[in-house]
């Protein structure tokens, strides 16, 4: 098993991780970025990004992330496609174990994002990015004056129903067989744009090139014409591997950080969706930049 030492190791290759790496490498810190899935993270899956500054005509998610990746590598960020399995805090040294090696650094930036749970139904993957979305804040504006369905229970789903009702023509709220709580229902029952459909589950998503309909299963199966489907299920945190290092999270699994993006463990920082901030490319990049600058100060303090 190989062992390598760096000034900083970044876990995750989305907008936050790439930006953090850009800052640390550009200022001369040896920087390793470890990504186990797709460089660019969830932003890579975005069909079109209309709200990233500097691109007035918009840009596709893959093209935007290619630019992030190219810039980070230009400044010397080393990228390894490996799966992280453990992290250990050893004071001034942080140890990262992956399936391919054993790495050591003076600081770590956690930018692992979150993975949204999927329904795993016919049509979901086929129309992902073409009408199927997991983020109303990200993609809601594309469905102005259109008909959409929000699938899933819980507070986050209700918030997205209300958010989409402000811009869409019609919103079908489909909590699934579990339903909403009484408190959650209060937020949507009086909205005339919202139609609540309880006691049924989504069976499939249909369409041609983009989403055109959904099929519901239940006592009375039905089909609805919709332009978009927002699947808002529980988020799956990616910070379980950090428990051994004592990284604190809130009740929702979001990593707790201070104003410098540092966690409760000295020398360990976090940025992007894993801290559950703005959940946008631009906010992830901003947090990544702040984390990168904080790492610079931390590593310099160790050298004094």
Would you name the residues annotated as active-site residues? 135, 138-139
Question: Terminus-to-terminus CA distance in the chain, angstroms?
Answer: 32
How many other CB atoms are found less than 10 A from the CB of residue 117?
Answer: 14
Question: How far, in Å, CA of 212 to CA of 52, rounded?
Answer: 28
φ and ψ of 159, to 5 deg: -60, -40
Helix, strand or coil, per DSSP, at residue 104? strand
**Distance between CA atoms of residues 34 and 188, nearest Å:** 42
Reading across the β-sheet that carries 170-174, which strands appear in turn?
Answer: 132-133, 228-231, 147-151, 170-174, 194-196
Question: What Å distances lie between residue 257 and 52, 72, 250, 272, 277, CA to CA?
Answer: 24, 24, 10, 11, 10
174-183: long-range contacts (C-beta < 8 A, 24 or more apart)? 174/149, 174/150, 174/200, 174/201, 174/202, 174/216, 176/151, 176/152, 176/200, 176/201, 176/202, 177/201, 178/153, 179/153, 180/153, 180/154
Cβ atoms of 148 and 168 closer than 8 Å:
yes
């Amino acid at each position: 098993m190989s062992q390598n030492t760096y000034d900083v190791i970044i876990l995750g290759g989305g907008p936050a991780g790439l930006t953090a790496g850009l800052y640390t490498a550009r200022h001369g810190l040896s920087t390793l970025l470890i990504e186990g899935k797709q460089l660019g993270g969830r932003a890579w899956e975005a069909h079109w990004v209309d709200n990233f500054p500097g691109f007035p005509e918009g840009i596709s998610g893959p093209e935007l992330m290619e630019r992030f990746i190219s810039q980070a590598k230009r400044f010397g960020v080393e990228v390894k496609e490996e799966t992280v399995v453990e992290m250990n805090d050893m004071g001034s040294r942080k140890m990262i174990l992956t399936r391919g090696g054993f790495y050591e650094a003076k600081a770590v930036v956690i930018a692992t994002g979150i993975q949204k749970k999927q329904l795993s139904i016919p049509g979901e993957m086929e129309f992902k990015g073409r009408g199927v979305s997991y983020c109303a804040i990200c993609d809601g504006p594309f469905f102005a004056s259109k008909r959409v369905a929000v699938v899933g229970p819980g507070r986050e789903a209700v918030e997205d129903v209300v958010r989409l009702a402000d811009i869409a023509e019609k919103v079908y709220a489909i909590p699934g067989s579990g339903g909403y709580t009484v408190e959650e229902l209060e937020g949507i029952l009086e909205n005339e744009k919202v139609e609540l459909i309880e006691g049924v589950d989504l069976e499939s998503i249909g369409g041609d090139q983009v989403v055109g309909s959904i099929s519901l299963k239940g006592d009375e199966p039905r089909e609805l014409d919709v332009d978009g489907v927002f699947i808002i299920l529980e988020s799956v945190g990616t910070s379980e591997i950090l428990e051994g290092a004592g990284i604190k999270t809130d009740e929702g699994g979001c990593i707790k950080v201070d104003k410098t993006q540092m966690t409760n463990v000295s020398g360990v920082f976090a940025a992007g969706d894993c801290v559950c901030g703005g959940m946008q490319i631009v906010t992830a990049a901003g947090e990544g930049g702040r984390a990168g600058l904080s790492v610079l100060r931390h590593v310099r303090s160790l050298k004094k």
